[in-house]
Structure 1
Amino acid sequence: MDATEKARLLDEDLEEDREGFLMDAARAWREAGDHFRAIALLTEAIELGIEDSDHPRVLLAEILFDLGQDDTARTQLRALRKTWPDDPSPYDQAGDLMRKRGEFEEALNWYDLAVARLDANDKTLSVYALGRRQMRQKLGLPEDDLDALAEPLQRQMDDVVRQVKAKRTALPPDQLDGPSGSP
């Protein structure tokens, strides 16, 4: 099944459970290359007030950035900030988006907002503090208490990356490619 066919099937599901499938259909249409259909679905999700694990405004901003509509993308991110969702994940996603764009100070602001939504005893605090720590390091800022909290998780991630790299270098070149021809 190609991406367009998948997107069409999700469109059909939209008619039955519109709120439940808007984000999936928008992602599928984006993957299929129909950014304008994805934008329409995300706009509808925003109007319906849907808050999925991936916030529609963040995905919409990402698509708008991809299309070179930076001002409109930033408007979506400002609107997200004004809604102040209880869930930290939209802020974390916005931080990831801005990090990928190389806008590290803006990414740090979003990661700070994600961490601010959590209780100090929340077990996921270090996960959200990790992106914040990485941006603070990239910006040359001194380590603070939250950075120290995220350090063990960073070490674990670094160990996993080292192990994967070691396994890849130990394999013969003909075993590096997966079934699709990619590692």
Structure 2
Amino acid sequence: MSNRPKTWALARTYPQDQEEILTEAAAFYNRAGQHEKALALYQGVLDSDCEEPHLVQAFRIDALWDSGRHDEAREAARDLRREHPADAGPWNVVAETLETADELHDAADYFTAGVNQWVRSRKFCAGSNLADMGSPNSRQSQYFKAIDTRTQRGLTAS
């Protein structure tokens, strides 16, 4: 018996958390170097009634890159860009993937698009805390926490 049915069976016992369970399992498979299992789980989540398809697509792009399938990852990133996600999270995940791969120009484009999406989707005012977005341990929250830190350093340095 493969691990996929066990993972899906576990996720089905918690239907309200199914997407999160499967996405996290895929991330662990990816970190463990089991990229095909990760990609299969991400695709399964995307094929289901997924609540955050753009974020899952971004995680899938990361797994494609990690598996050495760079051309597929780039194509998937272009597809995601054409879909223009309204949430900053997917942009951030793809940007981090590209940054880690030393694709710095493309990473900067995705980071910039993520920040632009965030600014467009919220009323930004002085003193707001960007790190309050998302769950405390999410990549999106960590991304905005880093922006807050950099912004505060810049404000105190002037």
Fold-level match, TM-score > 0.5? yes
Q: TM-score, normalised by structure 2?
A: 0.66
Distance 2:42 2:113 in 1: 23
* Alignment counterpart, residue 9 of structure 2, candidates 8, 12, 17: 12
Cα deviation, residue 86, structure 1: 1.9
Q: Given residue 88 of structure 2, which amino acid in structure 1 is its aligned partner?
A: P
Cα deviation, residue 32, structure 1: 4.1
Higher relative contact order (CA 8 A, sep 6+): 2
- Does the alignment pair 1:47 with 2:47? yes
Distance 1:36 1:72 in 2: 14
- Does the alignment pair 1:121 with 2:124? yes
Q: Given residue 94 of structure 1, which amino acid in structure 2 is its aligned partner?
A: V
The change in CA–CA distance for 1:101 and 1:68 in structure 2 (over 3 A counts) is: same
Distance 2:101 2:33 in 1: 20
What runs of 5+ residues in structure 2 fail to find an aligned partner? 132-142
Q: Paired residue for 2:26?
A: 26
Tell me the matched-pair count: 135
- Per-residue displacement from partner, 1:13-69 (whole Å, max 9, x unpaired)? 123324342202212332444221211111122233635599222222222122221
**Runs of 4+, deviation exceeding 3 Å:** 7-11, 51-54, 128-131, 153-156
Secondary structure of 2:86's aligned partner: coil
Q: Paired residue for 2:138?
A: none
- Per-residue displacement from partner, 1:118-173 (whole Å, max 9, x unpaired)? 23616329938839xxxxxxxxxxxxxxxxx94325689xxxxxxxxxxxxxxxxx
Q: Structure 1 vs Structure 2: percent identity of aligned residues?
A: 20
Secondary structure of 2:87's aligned partner: coil
Q: Paired residue for 1:92?
A: 92
Q: Paired residue for 1:83?
A: 83
The change in CA–CA distance for 1:54 and 1:25 in structure 2 (over 3 A counts) is: farther
Larger Rg: 1
Given that 1:127 and 1:150 are in contact with CA atoms closer than 8 Å, whether structure 2 keeps it comes out as no
Cα deviation, residue 89, structure 1: 1.3
Distance 1:51 1:153 in 2: 36
Q: Given residue 59 of structure 1, which amino acid in structure 2 is its aligned partner?
A: F
Q: Paired residue for 1:141?
A: none
What runs of 5+ residues in structure 1 fail to find an aligned partner? 132-148, 157-183
Q: TM-score, normalised by structure 1?
A: 0.59
Alignment of 1:103-182 (within 5 A): 103-119=103-119, 121=124, 123=128, 124=130, 127=144, 130=147, 150-153=150-153
